[in-house]
């Protein structure tokens, strides 16, 4: 229950924040969504796979603001770095997945830019035998939330209240994530 609730809430919050900060990507997602849905206002199962740009934006938001920013593992074998230093088998390590001061670039996840990327280079749902079994469901939840929001609102950040990120078990903002949601009649 915890993983399906807090992490999804964190992911949706930070995704909407990224969309608010980057109106050009917000608009491109909105256009893609409107093209896919046509006259419909609700998403259907077959629509998810067609949301290529929207998916790239979601992945980029998860890369910059992973709902679970720290992953711990015990090394099952020694690790040797290129400079010759090693870490022994049995050592417990913690990896920080949280990147700060990075550029929001959804094209990082375009097919041509991610073709040769190692599967462990993008870890918002962990990887390997301990990956999140609900990752596809979570991605679809993020898409539905974004679709329903962008069809109704033009997002912008509240410049008076920027979030203060605190990477805990789940990435949160100490002061909340404040956005402006003015309804736009032209949408």
Using pLDDT thresholds of 50, 70 and 90, give the confidence band for residue 187.
Answer: low
Q: Is 132 annotated as a binding residue?
A: yes
The proportion of the chain whose per-residue pLDDT surpasses 90, expressed as a percent, equals: 56
pLDDT in tens, 147-165: 999 999 999 999 999 888 7
Contacts of 10 by beta carbon, 8 Å cutoff, 6+ apart = 65, 67, 170, 171, 172
Question: Across the strands, what pairs with 5?
Answer: none
Average pLDDT over residues 162-181: 83
Per-residue pLDDT averaged across 12-39, rounded? 96
For the chain, which residues make up each domain, given as ranges? 2-69+106-180
Does residue 122 or residue 85 have the better pLDDT? 85
Q: What is the pLDDT of residue 122?
A: 78
* CA distance linking residue 93 with residue 125, whole number of Å: 18
Architecture of domain 2-69+106-180: Orthogonal Bundle (1.10)
User: What pTM did the predictor assign?
Assistant: 0.85
CA distances from 109 to 56, 67, 112, 117 (A): 5, 18, 8, 10
Task: Judge whether 157 and 21 are in contact, CB under 8 Å.
Answer: yes
Considering only residues 69 and 43, tell me which one the structure prediction assigns the higher pLDDT.
Answer: 43
């Amino acid at each position: 229950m915890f993983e399906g609730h807090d992490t999804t809430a964190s992911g949706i919050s930070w995704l909407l924040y990224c969309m608010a900060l980057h109106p050009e990507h917000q608009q491109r997602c909105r256009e893609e969504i409107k093209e896919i849905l046509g006259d419909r206002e609700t998403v259907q199962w077959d629509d998810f796979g067609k949301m290529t740009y929207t998916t790239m934006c979601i992945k980029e938001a998860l890369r910059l603001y992973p709902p679970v920013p720290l992953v711990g593992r015990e090394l099952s074998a020694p690790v040797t770095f290129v400079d010759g230093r090693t870490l022994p088998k049995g050592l417990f390590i913690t990896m920080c997945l949280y990147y700060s001061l990075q550029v929001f670039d959804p094209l990082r996840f375009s097919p041509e830019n991610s073709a040769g990327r190692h599967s462990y280079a993008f870890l918002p749902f962990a990887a390997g035998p301990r990956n999140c079994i609900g990752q596809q469901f979570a991605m679809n939840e993020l898409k539905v939330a974004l679709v329903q929001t962008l069809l109704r609102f033009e997002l912008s950040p509240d410049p008076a209240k920027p979030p203060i990120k605190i990477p805990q078990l789940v990435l949160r903002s100490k002061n909340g994530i404040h956005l402006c949601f003015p309804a736009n009649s032209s949408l």
